[in-house]
Amino acid sequence: MRGALQVARSSVLQNRTANREGGFDSLLGRSRDPKRSSMALNTLVPIVFLRCVAVVLCATLALLHVAVAQDNTLSPSKPTPQTAPATPSREMLIGTGDLLQVTVYGTDFDRQVRVSDGGEISLPMLGSVKVAGLSIREGEQVLARELARGGYFNDPQVSIFDREYSTQGISVLGEVQKPGIYPLPGARTLLDAISAAGGTTAKAGTAVTVTHRSRPDHPETLPLSYGADPSERSNAQVFPGDTIVVSKAGIVYVVGDVRQPSGIVMENSKMTVLQAIAMAQGTNPTAAINGSKVIRNTPHGLQEIPIPLKKMLAAKTPDVSLQPGDILFVPSSATKSAVRRGLEAIVQTATGVAIYRR
């Protein structure tokens, strides 16, 4: 009996082993042939390996894409730096004719020299050195370099003081109280230069022409404003070597039978006939206002323009604008003058009679 059980058990074990081997063989192509199994393994392994590599690469690329997206979201893009426009130098430049005082700190080297017409100065040990056109700081660096190169000083500290500026001042001309050249070192404005010249005259206009030393062929016309808060354009910066010309305001002349014949300065280059009459304190009673006219100087000569002053005063016709240099003439009426003289004679006679009776 025991022997039959052992035989049965061994039979079951053999069946299970056969089933396992058969399942494994089915994976390898359902063949128990060793050559075919080896070929199946050689084909299966590379395919599995390549699939694993592809999965890893896809996962890596996905992670990199997410990381880049997060970095762009968290870090805002930086604006591209823009180069500031070049502006003229605000430093006073050394010019021909300037008187310079050159000093080396810690030594007895102290000289006053005049810049020659060639832009050079003559110093002991160095001889002639060109400094015209340089700023004070650049001139100090040039002299320090030359002194060190010649072996005269070890790391010299050179100081230059321009005692007399001859060419680098700001020229203020035109309708100012004291036209001239004013040495204004440092950053200055248009109103600073005009104030140094004593301010403007009563005939000054509202425009200023500034010719920058760095752009002599491109003069700039600026509005002149004296308000408490002048605009940036009307109070622009000026630099050494610039030329400022204050324009002359337009003038209208009112003559004839008016109360105060005079020349009237135009405000903002604008004035009308009625405004000019008002500035002349009106017409006299003997004026022939219908015969008023404007005498204007044109490229073709003098031109007479009739002015219907009576209709203007009655607001029946538009006012007429005047131009700088116009002459507004209001004639006298002979009849009104004769009547006026007769009335004055009558009044004088009556006054004499009254005095005689007393």
Long-range contacts of 105-109 (CB under 8 A, 24+ apart): 105/156, 105/157, 105/158, 105/159, 106/157, 107/153, 107/156
Res 177 pLDDT > 90 = yes
| Of the candidates 243, 260, 263, the residue with the CA atom closest to the CA atom of residue 251 | 263
Res 141 pLDDT > 50 = yes
pLDDT tens track for 253-274: 998 888 998 888 887 678 899 9
What is the pLDDT confidence band of residue 119, given thresholds at 50, 70 and 90? confident
Contact 309, 330 (CB under 8 A): yes
| Of the candidates 115, 130, 221, the residue with the CA atom closest to the CA atom of residue 167 | 115
| Of the candidates 104, 87, 89, the residue with the CA atom closest to the CA atom of residue 135 | 89
Name the average pLDDT for the chain. Answer: 75
Q: How many CA atoms lie within 13 A of 106 on its CB side?
A: 6
User: Which has the minimum average pLDDT: 154-168, 213-227, 247-261, 339-353?
Assistant: 339-353
What is the pLDDT confidence band of residue 353, given thresholds at 50, 70 and 90? very low
Give the separation between CA 327 and CA 259, rounded to whole angstroms. Answer: 16
Give the separation between CA 136 and CA 283, rounded to whole angstroms. Answer: 64
Give the separation between CA 234 and CA 192, rounded to whole angstroms. Answer: 12
What is the pTM for the complete model shown? 0.50
- With a pLDDT cut of 70, the percent of the chain lying above it is 62
267 beta partners: 270
pLDDT tens track for 332-352: 876 555 555 555 554 454 444
What is the pLDDT confidence band of residue 31, given thresholds at 50, 70 and 90? very low
Contact 349, 357 (CB under 8 A): no
263 beta partners: 253
Residue with the larger pLDDT of the pair 101 and 163: 101
Predicted local confidence at residue 73, as pLDDT: 47
pLDDT tens track for 35-90: 555 555 566 666 666 666 676 676 676 666 655 555 554 444 444 444 444 444 45
Give the separation between CA 331 and CA 72, rounded to whole angstroms. Answer: 84
Structure-token pair, residue 220 = 């700039």
User: Which has the minimum average pLDDT: 28-37, 147-156, 324-333?
Assistant: 28-37
